[in-house]
Amino acid sequence: MRMSNMLVLTLREVPTEAEIVSHKLMLRSGMMRKMASGVYNYMPLGLKVLNKIEDIVREEMNEEGAQEFLASAMLPAELWQESGRWDAYGDEMFRLKDRNQRDFCLGPTHEEVFTDIARNEIKSYKQLPVNLYQIQTKYRDERRPRFGVMRSREFVMKDAYSFDKDQEGLDLCFNKMNEAYVRIFNRCGLDAKCVEADSGAIGGSNSAEFMVKSDVGEDDVVFCNDCNYAANMEKASAIPEKSEKEDLKDVNKIETPNTKTIEDLVKLFNVSKKKFIKTLLFKADNKIIAVMVRGDREVNEVKVANFLGGVDDFNMASPQEVVLATSAAVGFAGPIGIKVDELLVDAEVSKTHNFIVGANETGYHLENVNYGRDFQGKVGDFRNVAVGEKCPECGGEITIARGTEVGHIFKLGTKYSESMKATFIDENGKQKPFVMGCYGIGITRTMASIIEQHNDENGIIWPLSVAPYHVVVVPVNIKDEEQMRIAEAIYTSLKKLGVQVLMDNRNERAGVKFKDSELMGIPMRITVGKKINEGSVEFKLRSESDNELIKIEEVCDRVKEEFEINNLKIK
Amino acid sequence: MRMSNMLVLTLREVPTEAEIVSHKLMLRSGMMRKMASGVYNYMPLGLKVLNKIEDIVREEMNEEGAQEFLASAMLPAELWQESGRWDAYGDEMFRLKDRNQRDFCLGPTHEEVFTDIARNEIKSYKQLPVNLYQIQTKYRDERRPRFGVMRSREFVMKDAYSFDKDQEGLDLCFNKMNEAYVRIFNRCGLDAKCVEADSGAIGGSNSAEFMVKSDVGEDDVVFCNDCNYAANMEKASAIPEKSEKEDLKDVNKIETPNTKTIEDLVKLFNVSKKKFIKTLLFKADNKIIAVMVRGDREVNEVKVANFLGGVDDFNMASPQEVVLATSAAVGFAGPIGIKVDELLVDAEVSKTHNFIVGANETGYHLENVNYGRDFQGKVGDFRNVAVGEKCPECGGEITIARGTEVGHIFKLGTKYSESMKATFIDENGKQKPFVMGCYGIGITRTMASIIEQHNDENGIIWPLSVAPYHVVVVPVNIKDEEQMRIAEAIYTSLKKLGVQVLMDNRNERAGVKFKDSELMGIPMRITVGKKINEGSVEFKLRSESDNELIKIEEVCDRVKEEFEINNLKIK
């Protein structure tokens, strides 16, 4: 592509709306433009990257025997009513009516559609297993679209749905997809960690997320510094800290006026935070639940809700509800004499001796309280893991980072096949529901994540595998005939090799051209300047700060070498 | 692809909902499935064809220097309000609101979006010309979706928008696009005629349509049997038939009771239909218009509306309005004494002598009426061309066929750039509106049209350029080890060449396999059967009824030869 014929859309200024580096750089380099809140148009450079990511995904999905489909984005309400999600989905689903007042939505995901396809097309176990995927635009009406395509309302997703005759088949497919995802993110140059995850609203029992570390990530991810362990905060097992062995003392009621916080109590009692146990009240649907964790810990609400099972609505209890349950002002809740439907005790609390808790009486606490002797409750893991704690797998040290999800693989089981009566005839002639899995990759989000991991102060540094162009040829002075002749010759011979080349023949200063190509992140730059008198041109990798001087006749080999180093074929 | 791993979706029965051959065959061969009225899912085989057509379009657009973009399908109302089309578009536009009650639509077309992109990104004449295109899903809420993807509510379209500094630039781009379209349809194996067309609701002055003959087409297309002339009915110039020279006779009022139709009058007067002139009344916005055409002709309403210019609403006048204008019952309208806002006279009428017209008096006609002497009016071309008339270009014979539009190229001029204030700075430092063109191809409709032109009683006959697979290898008996060994060897060596091959290794009778591959339209079939004992296999083209017996070692060359014959490279 000759840049004189190209609509070049780079911006010098940093757009004010952009908060994170990928969003800024995608706007500045002209990859995309905003059309409405959370809705973007892809410009030629951005579309090329998007297509390359899509091709990598496609190759690896095909490699695992998955077949590409393309479903409509506009979906009839009937399918969603069958699965029960038409009402459950809420405000995040874009809905519309056609001219005959029939209800449609813009698909936020496609479980229903592919379950419908399977029940229509797959009759017998002989046709199984089947894994169907598509690369397609999804719509979700985010409450607060932010960070460019990291949290947008319209985005490109690869979603796959597998249909197996039994759990073993699903497990096999899940593992294949897991491996394919590792290869996909590797080929995209993206460092994405596979973490255990909670399966959330999509349902089912087993799921893993592919997360990239990101300051603006939506989730806390727990990593082990020493082994490969990684998990979402709600899935990371907390190892109870061992407390020192002590003889059990007698419970003692102490007056604690004006103690609103743990800090006030620490000051008053002059003992460690670990000696205090917090009792927090929640409302789970119509029940009041008390949860006890150590004073220095935080309750993990997802763990609590999952422990309770089948909870639709989970919130902190209101002050009125706290007063009713404790017969005291807020701040004096404790396990003894509390009126709640369920008392949950974090495992660590059950192993702490002689601790201090609220007395369920305004202005009083109890000391020397012990689980088992003084109160009963259901013991479990109800808290967040904290930095510095021990890894549940190897005992190594835990760190916590914010993460953004770029991929998610689920074992759905028979959730959708049962509700939508999607069945096949098994070996014994019996009707059975498909055992399903689903597997997503956020294509647009992957693109932004690659930029988050590959940039510097001058712009994007695309990995060669997804770069919009591989090489830019920059003649320093387009009025110099010899420079132009050599630049054109290099451009032509690289194109002939199959390399994707930009020829920056614009009538601009070399500095402007360098700035643009660095902003756009083109991996290799060949500068054709005065050194042609010595038969040389400059070769520069975007990822390196130094130039190499190479012979004109060596340019093609040098470029080929980079493809080899990156283990890529020139297409 | 091994067919044992493929979800094969062929149907033996003809689906009842399908009225035309392409719709039937796309369902039967498993190319697509209906999800809702006018909304389809593409199955693997159909998606492959779609992608091949898209790639051909992409190559030819790039060849002409157009740049690929991708705009959102969900568009904010504001852009459409600016152009005035938010209200004008009516029921055909799908509309929705987001969670904040902001209005959006699903884009039925993208003029507004690309005009917006241009006004934001193109500042100077130095950046021009620019031609931007996308291949993207469009949404139109058709009143009566029919014929599969021929008239669907969701469809894939290539739409391009060009921006030039002046009319000459636009003319050049329009011609380039015209040539690219000819190449595209040729490469797709589609016989599409470029016809002059009316530009309709999109606006602008100059347009051409690419039409394919089709019994279920929405438009009448006029073709010349002798030259290349082709035009839409509303654009086809009617050549007035010369009437015999006669002396002008005196007007004479004749009683004509019970004559409701031209046929009744022909019987009564015993002269040719050509001697009678019909006077038809229309309502154009708030005006009553009378149009006179010969008794054997039909009024073309588009020609009339275009002649009047700027008409929003154009309909037949009501009986009440006819009575009011003629002071007579319906059936006796004529030019003399009629009370209308405008009297339009078809050119042929102005050249007919001594004709018969209604007397504007119930039960009476006038004979020997002549234009000029007895009444005045505006003369023009207001009628449909009929079969057997003369070609306006060469005088040859006209035929008329139904046609479906697969492509449309428009000169928009400054319609959108003016309403949306999309301007650039010209050579003299002045703000000027872009001179625009737009260029569409219905990708899904092209796919269906190819099938309409390439099929037989056994199924589809894909042109090699767009076939989902090039070759199918059919071992007659998969339990015969030698047959399977040779079939696998052929499969592998063709794949190595880059040929897209299906290996039908299903445990089915050969007849079933033949039927499926013919239904799917795979261009070449290699049957590996008992003849391997003589070192031979059968080679059959889908388009031919005869087999060839060829040596096993000649298979690759024979396949290569087909690519050469079709002027295609093996990718």
Mind listing the pLDDT tens digit for each residue in A374-407? Answer: 999 999 999 999 998 999 889 999 999 888 999 9
> What is the C-alpha to C-alpha distance for residues B428 and A147, in angstroms, rounded to an integer?
41
Fold classified for B252-380: YbaK protein (3.90.960)
Contact across the interface for A7 and B40, Cβ inside 8 Å: no
Share of chain B above pLDDT 90, in %: 82
Task: Identify whether the C-beta of residue B29 lies closer than 8 Å to the C-beta of residue B47.
Answer: no
The radius of gyration of chain A's CA atoms, rounded to the nearest angstrom, is 30
Nearest to A561 by CA among A515, A499, A518: A499
Given this model, what pLDDT does residue B202 score? 42
3-state SS of A459-492 is EECCCHHHCCCCEEEEECCCCCHHHHHHHHHHHH
If 0-12 CB within 10 Å is exposed, 13-18 middle and 19+ buried, where does residue B278 land? Answer: buried
Residue A19 has pLDDT above 90, yes or no: no
Fold classified for B47-208+409-452: BirA Bifunctional Protein; domain 2 (3.30.930)
Task: Identify whether the C-beta of residue B41 lies closer than 8 Å to the C-beta of residue A71.
Answer: yes
Task: Identify whether the C-beta of residue A300 lies closer than 8 Å to the C-beta of residue A282.
Answer: no
B493 to chain A, closest Cα gap in Å: 19
> What is the C-alpha to C-alpha distance for residues A473 and A459, in angstroms, rounded to an integer?
18
| B-chain residues near A33 (CB < 8 A) | 117, 120-121
Q: How many CB pairs under 8 A join A and B?
A: 127
Contact across the interface for A7 and B154, Cβ inside 8 Å: no
What are the pLDDT digits (tens) for A445-465?
999 999 999 999 999 999 999
B415 to chain A, closest Cα gap in Å: 22
Q: Report in angstroms the alpha-carbon separations of A559 from A493, A541, A554, B462, B527.
A: 11, 10, 9, 40, 45
Contact across the interface for B70 and A76, Cβ inside 8 Å: no
Q: What is the CATH number assigned to the segment(s) B469-565?
A: 3.40.50.800
Given this model, what pLDDT does residue B198 score? 62
| B-chain residues near A65 (CB < 8 A) | 5
Residue A200 has pLDDT above 70, yes or no: no
> What is the C-alpha to C-alpha distance for residues A275 and A266, in angstroms, rounded to an integer?
9
Nearest to A141 among B9, B99, B113 (CB): B99
The structure tokens listed for A569 are 């074929």
Q: Which of A519-528, B13-22, B538-547 has the lowest mean pLDDT?
A: B13-22
DSSP B246-313: -PPPPPEEEE-TT--SHHHHHHHHTS-GGGBEEEEEEEETTEEEEEEEETT--B-HHHHHHHH-S-S-
What are the pLDDT digits (tens) for A72-123?
999 999 999 999 999 989 899 999 999 999 999 999 999 999 999 999 999 9
| A-chain residues near B127 (CB < 8 A) | 7
The whole-model pTM stands at 0.87
Amino acid at A483: Q
Nearest to B121 among A7, A67, A139 (CB): A7
pLDDT band at B421 (very low <50, low <70, confident <90, very high): very high
Given this model, what pLDDT does residue B199 score? 53
Nearest to B547 by CA among B531, B561, B527: B527
Given this model, what pLDDT does residue A231 score? 87
Give A244-248 contacts, CB < 8 A, sequence gap 24+: A244/A353, A245/A353, A246/A353, A246/A354, A248/A353, A248/A354, A248/A368, A248/A370, A248/A373
Mean pLDDT, range A474-498, rounded to an integer: 97
Residue A201 has pLDDT above 70, yes or no: no
Given this model, what pLDDT does residue A410 score? 92
Contact across the interface for B72 and A35, Cβ inside 8 Å: yes
Residue A235 has pLDDT above 60, yes or no: yes
Residue B156: closest C-alpha in chain A: A72
Nearest to B47 among A41, A70, A120 (CB): A70
Nearest to B42 among A69, A104, A113 (CB): A69
A431 to chain B, closest Cα gap in Å: 19
B318 to chain A, closest Cα gap in Å: 28
What ipTM, to 2 d.p.? 0.85
| A-chain residues near B5 (CB < 8 A) | 65
Nearest to B94 among A47, A76, A98 (CB): A98
- Strand pairing category for A130-139 and A252-255: unpaired
B476 to chain A, closest Cα gap in Å: 20
Mean pLDDT, range A538-548, rounded to an integer: 96
> What is the C-alpha to C-alpha distance for residues B42 and B48, in angstroms, rounded to an integer?
9
Nearest to B44 among A47, A69, A98 (CB): A69
Residue A205 has pLDDT above 80, yes or no: no
Given this model, what pLDDT does residue B203 score? 42
> What is the C-alpha to C-alpha distance for residues A543 and A546, in angstroms, rounded to an integer?
9
> What is the C-alpha to C-alpha distance for residues B503 and B492, in angstroms, rounded to an integer?
10
Task: Identify whether the C-beta of residue A159 lies closer than 8 Å to the C-beta of residue A115.
Answer: no
Contact across the interface for A106 and B96, Cβ inside 8 Å: yes
Cα A414 to chain centroid distance, Å, stands at: 25
> What is the C-alpha to C-alpha distance for residues B29 and A71, in angstroms, rounded to an integer?
17
Contact across the interface for A70 and B76, Cβ inside 8 Å: no
Classify the C-alpha dihedral A212-A215-A218-A222 as positive or negative: positive
Residue A255 has pLDDT above 50, yes or no: yes
Say which residues have a Cβ less than 8 Å from residue A393's Cβ, sequence separation at least 6. Answer: A224, A227, A229
User: How many residues are given for chain B?
Assistant: 571
The mean of the pLDDT values for chain B is: 93
Contact across the interface for B9 and A121, Cβ inside 8 Å: yes
Mean pLDDT, range A513-528, rounded to an integer: 97
What are the pLDDT digits (tens) for A548-558?
999 999 999 99
The mean of the pLDDT values for chain A is: 93
Q: Report in angstroms the alpha-carbon separations of B190 from B407, B445, B450, B516.
A: 12, 11, 6, 24
Contact across the interface for A9 and B121, Cβ inside 8 Å: yes
| A-chain residues near B99 (CB < 8 A) | 91, 141, 143
Given this model, what pLDDT does residue A199 score? 53
Residue A203 has pLDDT above 70, yes or no: no
Q: What is the CATH number assigned to the segment(s) A47-236+400-452?
A: 3.30.930.10
Burial call B445-454: b when 16+ CB within 10 Å, e when fewer: bbbbbbbbbb
Nearest to A72 among B95, B141, B154 (CB): B154
DSSP bridge pairs for B76: B104
Mean pLDDT, range A163-176, rounded to an integer: 95
Nearest to A117 among B6, B41, B98 (CB): B41
B481 to chain A, closest Cα gap in Å: 22
Domain limits, chain B:
47-208+409-452, 252-380, 469-565
Contact across the interface for A44 and B68, Cβ inside 8 Å: yes
Residue B430 has pLDDT above 90, yes or no: yes
Mean pLDDT, range B213-218, rounded to an integer: 80
What are the pLDDT digits (tens) for B268-292?
899 999 999 999 999 999 999 999 9
Contact across the interface for A139 and B106, Cβ inside 8 Å: no
The structure tokens listed for B295 are 């008794």
| A-chain residues near B47 (CB < 8 A) | 68-70
| A-chain residues near B107 (CB < 8 A) | none
Residue B517 has pLDDT above 60, yes or no: yes
